[in-house]
Structure 1
Amino acid sequence: MVENTSKKNIKSGYVIPHYLYKDKQVKYYGDFGIKIDFSGDEKKWGNHEEVVLEPRKNFFDSNPLTIMGAVLTTGGIMVFYDSSEYKKGSVVLQVGMALFDSENPKILKERKEAPIYKYDLKTKEKVTPLTAVQDGDELVLTWKIGSSKKGEGRIPHPYLYLKNQNKRRIFAGIKKIFDINRHKNNPIIKPKVENNWESKATFNPAALNTGDKIHLIYRAIGQNDMSVLGYASSEDGFNFNERLDTPIYTNGKLNKKTLTNLKVSPISYISGGGGEGGCEDPRLTLIEDTVYLTYTAFDGWGSLRMALSSISLKDFLNKEWNWKKPINISKYGEINKNWVLFPEKIDGKFAIIHSVNPEISIEYLDDLEFKGDKKYIDSPFSTEKNKERWDSWVRGAGPPPIKTDKGWLLIYHAMDFYNDPNRYKMGAMLLDLKDPRKIIARSKEPILEPDEHYENNGWKAGVSYCCGAVEKDGQLLIYYGGADTVSCVAETNLNEFVNKLIETENPKIKVYTKYKKEL
């Protein structure tokens, strides 16, 4: 729970209400760095000069820090501060957040790497930070602009709570912007010990909605540690009562090569679940009357390439698995994963997203034959990281984009490389319908993190890896692998999700022309 927001005091400080440390009240104050002070009666302060928070070089808050507010939560004392940046003709308003230990308010527990609020205010006037106060479920941020105006920005209040004591990051518990609900019966697909080919893992499912059914093609690993693809279907998208006992897709040519036949050195790659290669991490795309399958083809030793196959929709629905011979569409000797095909042509061409870092890279093709001069897609490789974001390391696209009236919705995989490494989380982007290289909006926080037991107990802890998503009756159904072992589903209202994505990407500030002196 969150107590009432702190009271402003002398020295631009904030007294924490309903809180005492060693029988004294606590105040955070300062306009360059944040300091702490103590008082026995709130009238006489000890002029304590200890700095508890300073500007950080090479971060958004490298500018002077000015206290705006503080609040007591069950996880500690949250402090909000301004670190705005002055530019020619504008002021970039930036608000940071830090968490101090409630048992010792001088101890910093954690500090947000990125601003919780950022807005480029076009003005040449002086801007002075004022307050950060709670209004219902929102945090209201105010600044004085010049001598007669006030600016006000609002964001969802970052309530803090600890779900359990084993959280890797305190901030993993902030109130979520996106309302994503895991299904109560997760995991929806588990390994079957009686089937040798899927006895160890059944995860990372691709999804396809054909109207009357949701079809999943999932990656399966059995006793030989080879990855093959299995099939399951459901009428409601949650209960997958139909499941085949034999794999529906394998790549028989993926065998270990001898040293003399290898043209590249062994790649440094550990495949989730099993290490003997096969068909990994499928995606399904329906275009007209053809179902396209993209997947990672791994030979278990020296080659990891993107592959493409297809099947007629009629054969797919009849479960006659007459797959077209697969084509390797990425360059030999390179590591490529997470390529997705748009579900419709763009300007008359097939479109494949083959990279999302540091920008959206799309290959436009007249056909998907990869003959003649076009033998493969040359995809740039980047490990570029942005430490100011939760998704400092964007790993790749998740499912094929879903078309909405406001843009292409793309779910992606990412890690917080600097603060929470080795945990696969999901983010979301909204891409322009006509030119999907343009990002309209991008999630300010993960839409789903690997917090549940089935996302941590398995071949690889801390993994929520999405390869499938569909729209059904206005709901967005997200299918993902948990801990590289099982298949899961989560849902949210699609329109509300997209609207929230846009709202949080484009924060607004209200400017009042009459400034009240008491503020």
Structure 2
Amino acid sequence: MVRFVEDLPVIETRSNSLLLKPSDIQPSRDDFEVVGVFNPAVAMIGDELYMLARVAERAAESRVGWTALPLQTLSGTIEIEWFRDVDLHVVDARVVALKKNDDLRLTSVSHMQLFRSTNRSGTDWEFVSAILPEGRWETYGIEDPRITKIESTFWITYVAVSPMGAATALMSTSNFVTFDRHGIIFSCENKDVVLFPSRIAGDFVALHRPNPHSHFSPPQIWLARSPDLIHWGRHEFVLGGMHAWEGDRVGSGTPPILCDEGWLTLYHGSNRSNIAGTVGCYSAGALLLDRDQPSRVLARTSEPIMQPATEFEKNGFVPNVVFPTAMLDRGDELQIFYGAADTCVASAQFSKQSVLDSLVRQDQSK
């Protein structure tokens, strides 16, 4: 039962655990360095856990006055292009803009690596395989997977980045040995797509994050429906950033789980940075959606339930980031897997009831 209260209780959480860090990952090439392993998707098969994590790499070589920008060619190899610093505008640690045309480029290129844990708590992980970018829509890398099991198939949404922008693509697997790619399902600019684990009123349902260049309103999360997981439409607004901690960015985090009270999910938000070349602090909140009308917000947290606090969350490639991307329902507890500072994979455990108790009822008359 959700106890909606005005004086929010302290969220009960166990100490956060650091699971993977860049030094645990072997670079894909001798001339590369791994700058981050983060934003993991997690699924369970029997007593084993499988994790798909984003691995970001960049050139190990440095040249004074120059910046190396990697990209994946259509032939499958990664090339390094060198640009003079004076010809670039630094957007943040992740992105630069070419001054000649304002085109954006990433300072690293990402692929995904699959890990397995035979420990149900997910504290020990072994490398299984790598999934590399493919084709023209993934020339700047593949990022931020989420896994949802629907019937007997695991569906994986992920971000495909190219000169066209950031789009969302789909792949699937039944065994985490072979993977089928299904192409782009949400065109640029759209990311942070999470799938619901069952049909609702006969439809597949997803939360997604349009990312328009023109900002007429605060950042938003929308909902879409599909007959087949490929073709999406009937879009509906779900929520916008209401508070300072989610005023600059807001997006889905973990695929929803069904509770007695409705669909429970975590989402991320970031505030605005007042320092040029940096991004704001990323935190996480909780959201409860109606089980039959999932575009209807029943309750949400007004304050974050997760904020950067540990050394590995506050310091890294992008400082001050907690970015939840997977949530396992363990009865009375929720195990959250998240990216920390765009550098590491970590996990935390919460009392499910304390998360539900932190929710603030929304005015349904609006």
TM-score bin (small chain): 0.7 to 0.9
Q: CA deviation at 1:362?
A: 1.7
For residues 311 and 200 of structure 1, what CA distance do their matches in structure 2 show?
28
Task: Tell me the residue number matched to 1:468.
Answer: 326
Q: CA deviation at 1:381?
A: 10
SS for the counterpart of 1:251 is coil
Q: CA deviation at 1:454?
A: 0.3
Task: Tell me the residue number matched to 1:191.
Answer: 22
Contact 2:173 2:180 in 1 (8 A): yes
Q: 1:348-387, aligned counterparts within 5 Å?
A: 348-355=202-209, 361-370=222-231, 386=242
Contact 1:425 1:446 in 2 (8 A): yes
CA displacement, residues 183-221 of structure 1 (integer Å, 9 cap, x when unaligned) = 3xx321112466113833110001113341222110012
SS for the counterpart of 1:222 is strand
Task: Tell me the residue number matched to 1:427.
Answer: 285
For residues 431 and 355 of structure 1, what CA distance do their matches in structure 2 show?
16
Contact 2:51 2:114 in 1 (8 A): yes
Select which of 306, 314, 317 maps to 1:459. 317
Contact 1:464 1:482 in 2 (8 A): yes
Q: Give the 3 Å change call, closer, same or farther, for CA 378–227 of structure 1 in structure 2.
A: farther
Q: Give the 3 Å change call, closer, same or farther, for CA 487–476 of structure 1 in structure 2.
A: same
CA displacement, residues 339-390 of structure 1 (integer Å, 9 cap, x when unaligned) = 11101111111111114976652211111243xxxxx659799996545x54
Task: Tell me the residue number matched to 1:252.
Answer: 134
SS for the counterpart of 1:445 is coil
CA displacement, residues 389-420 of structure 1 (integer Å, 9 cap, x when unaligned) = 54334510001111111111111111233899
For residues 341 and 255 of structure 1, what CA distance do their matches in structure 2 show?
21
Task: Tell me the residue number matched to 1:282.
Answer: 145
Q: What letter matches 1:433 in structure 2?
A: R
Q: CA deviation at 1:296?
A: 0.4
SS for the counterpart of 2:355 is helix
Task: Tell me the residue number matched to 1:412.
Answer: 267
Q: What letter matches 2:335 in structure 1?
A: L
Select which of 111, 122, 145 maps to 1:228. 111
Q: What letter matches 1:205 in structure 2?
A: P
What's the C-alpha RMSD, in Å, of the aligned pairs? Answer: 3.2
SS for the counterpart of 1:325 is strand
2:257 corresponds to 1:402 = yes
Select which of 159, 169, 175 maps to 1:307. 169
Q: Which moved more, 1:354-363 or 1:422-431?
A: 354-363
Select which of 146, 159, 172 maps to 1:296. 159
SS for the counterpart of 1:455 is helix
Higher strand fraction: Structure 1 or Structure 2?
2
Contact 1:227 1:280 in 2 (8 A): yes
For residues 137 and 224 of structure 2, what CA distance do their matches in structure 1 show?
30
Q: CA deviation at 1:154?
A: 6.3
Task: Tell me the residue number matched to 2:37.
Answer: 202
Contact 2:285 2:305 in 1 (8 A): yes
Select which of 302, 318, 326 maps to 2:182. 326
Task: Tell me the residue number matched to 1:10.
Answer: none
2:222 corresponds to 1:391 = no
Greater RCO (CA < 8 Å, at least 6 residues apart) = 2
Q: Give the 3 Å change call, closer, same or farther, for CA 254–190 of structure 1 in structure 2.
A: farther
Q: Percent identity?
A: 28
Q: CA deviation at 1:295?
A: 0.5
Superposition TM-score, scaled by structure 2 size = 0.72
Q: CA deviation at 1:327?
A: 1.2
Select which of 116, 126, 129 maps to 1:242. 126
Q: Give the 3 Å change call, closer, same or farther, for CA 396–359 of structure 1 in structure 2.
A: closer
Q: Give the 3 Å change call, closer, same or farther, for CA 378–218 of structure 1 in structure 2.
A: farther
Task: Tell me the residue number matched to 1:213.
Answer: 48
Unaligned runs of 5+ in 1: 1-118, 120-152, 157-175, 257-275, 371-375, 508-519
Contact 1:390 1:444 in 2 (8 A): no
Q: Give the 3 Å change call, closer, same or farther, for CA 506–325 of structure 1 in structure 2.
A: closer
Q: What letter matches 1:442 in structure 2?
A: R
Contact 1:432 1:438 in 2 (8 A): yes
Q: What letter matches 2:112 in structure 1?
A: L
Q: What letter matches 1:252 in structure 2?
A: E
Contact 1:330 1:377 in 2 (8 A): no
For residues 447 and 419 of structure 1, what CA distance do their matches in structure 2 show?
23
Contact 1:207 1:468 in 2 (8 A): yes
Q: What letter matches 1:458 in structure 2?
A: G
SS for the counterpart of 2:353 is helix
Q: What letter matches 2:229 in structure 1?
A: L
For residues 334 and 155 of structure 2, what CA distance do their matches in structure 1 show?
21
SS for the counterpart of 2:20 is coil
Q: Give the 3 Å change call, closer, same or farther, for CA 432–391 of structure 1 in structure 2.
A: same
